[in-house]
Amino acid sequence: MEGGVEGDIGHGHALEKNQLKFKRVLLKLSGEALMGEHSFGISPEVIARISKELRDAVRLGAEIGIVVGGGNIFRGVAGSKLGMDRVRADHIGMLATVMNALALQDALLSLGVEARVLSAIDIGNVCEPFVRKRALKHLEKGRVVIFAAGTGNPFFTTDTAAALRALEINAHCLFKGTKVDGVYDRDPEKYPNAKKFDRLTYHEVIERDLRVMDHAAISLAMDAKLPVLVFSIKEHGNICRALSGKADATLVTME
């Protein structure tokens, strides 16, 4: 399709390829984002909708890497609190992210979008191992690259993995898709008068202890001056709007 993306992106107005503010991005998706209204597992409707938005983004010319969490299936921290060995629990959590990554890959492939899963742990019969040069080559060829198994190490969150992979693929921005439309001073679902921030600095995020990403991830982004954009993944068309800089969101930068 030449010139833009058809459909109801941006409330009926097609975005043009030259409207991209960020060409290469790393999108962090939590495992919970894939659950929809369910209490566990993957919602076929949600993963289909997100995949269609990613298809539209690729058609716009965006190069997209994705780090997906595994909290909809298993959380290593939660397992350790129940008495499991933390390292073993984190390994189970890594496998949960692989499951989510393969489900997302399958949904993308069914839409005709080339997608590859690269895992930080060696499971060659299931997906490719993470190799930076291979990831960059896939991105240059217009393929969506889904990074699974976090960093491959216990005690590190998928937020940290997202910041790390964003830097490794030379992303222009780190996107974090959440269930709300940005960063608030407190939980907007519990406090109706919570204040939303349109812009923040990395230092403000750390000093206020705002729940954007964990401190290790924010510190990595700050050191590299990598912008972080936090927006709602639940709102239809928001991935493309974020790419164009038009999403209702919070932008975290140096100043």
Per the structure block, which two tokens stand in for 63? Answer: 């190069």
- Is 56 marked as a binding-site residue? no
- Is 70 marked as a binding-site residue? yes
- Is 28 marked as a binding-site residue? yes
- Is 160 marked as a binding-site residue? no
- Is 106 marked as a binding-site residue? no
* Structural contact between residues 6 and 45, judged by C-beta atoms closer than 8 angstroms: no
Per the structure block, which two tokens stand in for 89? Answer: 């629990």
SS3 content of the chain, % helix, strand, coil (to 5): 40, 20, 45
Per the structure block, which two tokens stand in for 160? Answer: 């940290």
- Is 241 marked as a binding-site residue? no
3 state SS of 170:
coil
Task: Classify each residue of 66-79 as buried b or exposed e, where b means 16 or more C-beta atoms within 10 Å of its C-beta.
Answer: bbbbbbbbbbbeeb
- Is 29 marked as a binding-site residue? yes
- Is 71 marked as a binding-site residue? yes
- Is 80 marked as a binding-site residue? no
Strand arrangement of the beta sheet that strand 144-148 belongs to = 128-129, 115-119, 144-148, 63-68, 24-29, 173-178, 228-232, 249-253, 199-201
- Is 130 marked as a binding-site residue? no
- Is 10 marked as a binding-site residue? no
- Is 122 marked as a binding-site residue? no
- Is 223 marked as a binding-site residue? no
The amino acid at 84: M
What span, in angstroms and rounded, lies between the C-alpha atoms of 150 and 115? 18
- Is 151 marked as a binding-site residue? yes
- Is 139 marked as a binding-site residue? no
3 state SS of 220:
helix
Question: Cα-Cα-Cα-Cα dihedral of 64, 46, 30, 101, to 10°?
Answer: -60
- Is 250 marked as a binding-site residue? no
If residue 176 lies in a helix (H) or strand (E), which one and from where to where? Answer: strand 173-178
- Is 227 marked as a binding-site residue? no
Binding residue numbers for ATP: 28-31, 71, 75, 178, 184, 187
Binding residue numbers: 28-31, 70-71, 75, 90, 151-158, 178, 184, 187
Binding residue numbers for UMP: 70, 90, 151-158
